[in-house]
Structure 1
Amino acid sequence: MDKLIYTAMTGARHLLEQQATVSNNLANVSTTGFRAQLDTFRAVPVQSDGGLPTRTFVVDNTVGADFRSGPIMTTGRALDVAVRGDGWIAVQAADGSEAYTRNGSFKVSENGLLQTTSGQTIQGEGGPIAIPPDSDIAIAGDGTVSVISTGQTKPGPANILGRIKLVNPPAQQLSRGADGLFRQNSGQPADFDPKVSLVSGALEGSNVSAVDSMVNMIQLGRQFEMQMSLLKNAENNAAKATQLLALS
């Protein structure tokens, strides 16, 4: 009886947390470069002083993220890029640390810095990339950023401003932060990887499947109802046992 209550109670609790994870994935089904979050269960025995570990409870063990690539959609916009295959774009997070994203929708800030649309500064091989005013921007497949001045009567030659830092650390060494960006578990910046390439004029969509997420929501709802039924059965069994003891 005691084992049943612990298992059903903690199972129901973490099923609700998994529903929140699936809901977050569904909310980001159209977010550029989003990686779906994955969760799983594991059983842990309850340790007590002087007692045997006869009771178990369930914890939600976060596996990490689904690192499969999303669909690439052509936009034709010069400041849109998609990472081809494996790899990441290095950005500067709000706390100043280096982080990684697959969101290749860029903009030029008021200070002339190349940034993501959410405000993170793009990291180049030598630091942030500054874009001069009145310029047409082109981003090559290897991450090289070049501009052509449009402030003159006759366009001038293309000037190379820098190269976007593209990295490809092992997936098991990456973890998602509260800001949605990925970082290395060691806290150290990843090395530049020349094998990572970009697709210009395109964006990578989310790798979340709306259909699969909806099916998971239904399955989690049914599992939650099952845990509630187990708790109800435990309550009924305890009531009947109390009646039998009272008669004896």
Structure 2
Amino acid sequence: MDSSLWVAKTGLDAQQRRMTVVANNLANVNTTGFKKDRAVFEDLLYQTIRQPGAQVGQGANSPTGLVLGTGTRVVATEKIHSQGNMIQTDNALDLALDGDGFLQTLRQDGTIGYTRDGSLKLNNVGQLVTASGNLLQPAVTIPTNARTITIGKDGTVSVQTFDQTESQTVGNIQVANFINPAGLQAMGGNVYVQTAASGEAQVLTPSQDGAGSLIQGSLEASNVNVVESMVNMIETQRAYEVNSKAISAADGMLRFINNNL
């Protein structure tokens, strides 16, 4: 009977972790470029009382055996990298990625980070940076006398200055693709870093070789569906309640045995 208490307890732990995942999704419903998480469950080891196929009599084998489960756990959280909705901002420095890929940024520790948040700014020397101040890679510097800034779907950055009538190219924005983007590690601040699971970054020109294209004057919204997340929250809550009732039922059975035997 004690085993049923433990099994139900693992269910409580697993549902609590799933609730954390759902809550984080809802908390980031307005975070630019955020990708929702999904909790991945697995069953725990089984206690084999009788092996399936074991001989149970003369010429008779057990067709199913007797195997008892020991519970469940959350084995992983997976980022769902589906496309978010496009929000038009008409800001020349806002970029949305339509398709696969990530913008590259230089993090404070000197490593390369990857992001879908294209709300770019200019720093004090005219370089394109993210909202958190990380320098866009490869670096692009906008002249101080620039009148207009144009960013093409292929990442070409061109400006028109007050003293010139023709546009001039000042840089090219590239995107990085991964064979397994779900293997990237989320670091916070809308930044991911490469891991052994994600594979090496493949730096590509936007809108070529399977890379997404850049859309100037727009931002990619979070791909969190509020209604879906609310349903997941209710489902998690009900599963937690059922596991709690299983503990209460097992406790009642043990109490009955103690009081009557």
TM bin, normalised by shorter chain, reads: 0.7 to 0.9
Q: Residue 29 and residue 111 in structure 1: after superposition, are their counterparts in 2 closer, same or farther (change >3 A)? A: same
2:154 paired residue number: 142
CA apart distance, 1:62: 1.9
Which residue among 211, 226, 231 is the counterpart of 1:215?
231
2:6 paired residue number: 6
CA apart distance, 1:55: 6.3
Distance 1:230 1:169 in 2: 44
CA contact (8 A) 1:82 1:103 kept: yes
Deviations 1:115-167 (A, max 9, x none): 1122222111xxx22222232322111111222223xxx43532222211212
Which ranges of 4 or more aligned residues in structure 1 deviate by more than 4 Å?
none
Deviations 1:162-196 (A, max 9, x none): 21121221235632323242233238751212322
Matches within 5 A, 1:40-189: 40-45=40-45, 56-124=70-138, 128-135=139-146, 136-150=148-162, 154-172=163-181, 174-179=183-188, 180-186=190-196
1:232 paired residue number: 248
What CA RMSD, in Å, does the superposition of the two structures yield over aligned residues? 2.2
CA apart distance, 1:66: 0.8
Q: Which moved more, 1:19-28 or 1:155-164?
A: 155-164
CA contact (8 A) 1:39 1:63 kept: yes
Write the letter of the residue equivalent to 1:23.
A
Alignment size in residue pairs: 234
Distance 1:206 1:64 in 2: 16
Taking every aligned residue pair, what percent have the same amino acid on both sides? 32
Deviations 1:195-236 (A, max 9, x none): 222111111111100111111111111111111101101110
Distance 2:143 2:127 in 1: 9
Distance 2:228 2:248 in 1: 30
- In structure 2, list runs of 5 or more residues that go unmatched: 48-66
CA apart distance, 1:86: 1.5
Q: Which moved more, 1:90-99 or 1:166-175?
A: 166-175
CA contact (8 A) 1:137 1:148 kept: yes
- In structure 1, list runs of 5 or more residues that go unmatched: 48-52
SS at match of 1:192: strand
1:29 paired residue number: 29
CA contact (8 A) 1:70 1:204 kept: yes
CA apart distance, 1:239: 0.6
Write the letter of the residue equivalent to 1:177.
A
Tell me the TM-score normalized by structure 1: 0.86
Distance 2:181 2:122 in 1: 33
Write the letter of the residue equivalent to 1:181.
V
1:19 paired residue number: 19
